[in-house]
Chains A and B, each alone.
Chain A
């Protein structure tokens, strides 16, 4: 009887945790997406290219390295779903969305950096993604750090 009660309690906590943190995570994600859209509009005038050469028609008298980085964590629900997904294999869309969001954020931060220098073109943009060890326990998703960097062309 006691064992059954313990099991029910455990499952109960898991479900409550998944629902609560899932909703919390989803709210965070929505807010971040709205924020991203607003700032992307704001910095739409700054062009980021991953080509190495200066585009024709752009006059530059120098360049400077600009960077933007973000360290992103997934949430409890997504990590739990990833655990299940890894039993069967296949695409993990929820985690993919987290990384895409982090890349947009890193690019924006780089553009903000370029904006401070008065640049409107950033060339040779590179992304780098790395994991930073297991953030919590062995089963937790390691957090990912994304850094975005490029050369801002300084206008006359």
Chain B
């Protein structure tokens, strides 16, 4: 599965449009990480625990999007976009969406 956030895949031509595919996940942060984050808010710096948590969650949302594309018989997703929103205190939604297409190599 090819994922790009451009409208076409470089070096490939789009032969068929399959439509919009999406994947989301909502993650709550866990207490241990939250305490660590509370301390980081005093001294500044990166919240590594959260960075990891969100990267994993974003990967999960992407995987769900890819699964949807595969179900449609696509071999690439173009114009991929990510959005993040906090749905409640301590929980975030990671959302990935794009257009499933069938591409064929030019060369």
Residues of A whose CB lies within 8 Å of any CB of B are 17, 21, 24-25, 28-29, 32, 52-54, 60-65, 67, 69-76, 78-79, 98, 102, 105, 123-124, 126, 128, 130-136, 140-143, 145, 147, 149-151, 153-154
Contacts and interface: CB of A to CB of B under 8 A. Distances in A.
A117 to B, nearest CB: 12
Interface in B41-95: 41-48, 50-51, 54-55, 58, 80-86, 88-92
Interface residues of B, number: 42
B43 A124 contact: no
B47 A73 contact: yes
B82 to A, nearest CB: 6
Point out which of B45, B82, B88 has the most chain A C-beta atoms below 10 A from its C-beta. B45
Contact of B6 (A52, A132, A134): A52
A21 B80 CA distance: 40
Given A61-B10, A63-B2, A21 B42 contact: yes
A73 B40 contact: yes
B45 to A, nearest CB: 5
Given A63-B6, A132-B92, A151-B4, A105 B46 contact: yes
Contact of B80 (A17, A29, A32, A65): A65
Interface string B8-37: 011110000000000000000100001001
Contact of A63 (B9, B58, B107): B9
B81 to A, nearest CB: 8
B51 A29 contact: no
6 contacts: A21-B44, A29-B44, A62-B11, A64-B3, A70-B51, A75-B42
B41 A79 contact: yes
* SS class, residues of chain A in contact with chain B: mixed
A25 B43 contact: yes
A121 to B, nearest CB: 10
Contacts of A64: 2-4
Contacts of B91: 133
A123 B43 contact: no
Contact of B38 (A133, A136, A147): A136
Given A28-B45, A136-B41, A52 B86 contact: no
A72 B40 CA distance: 9
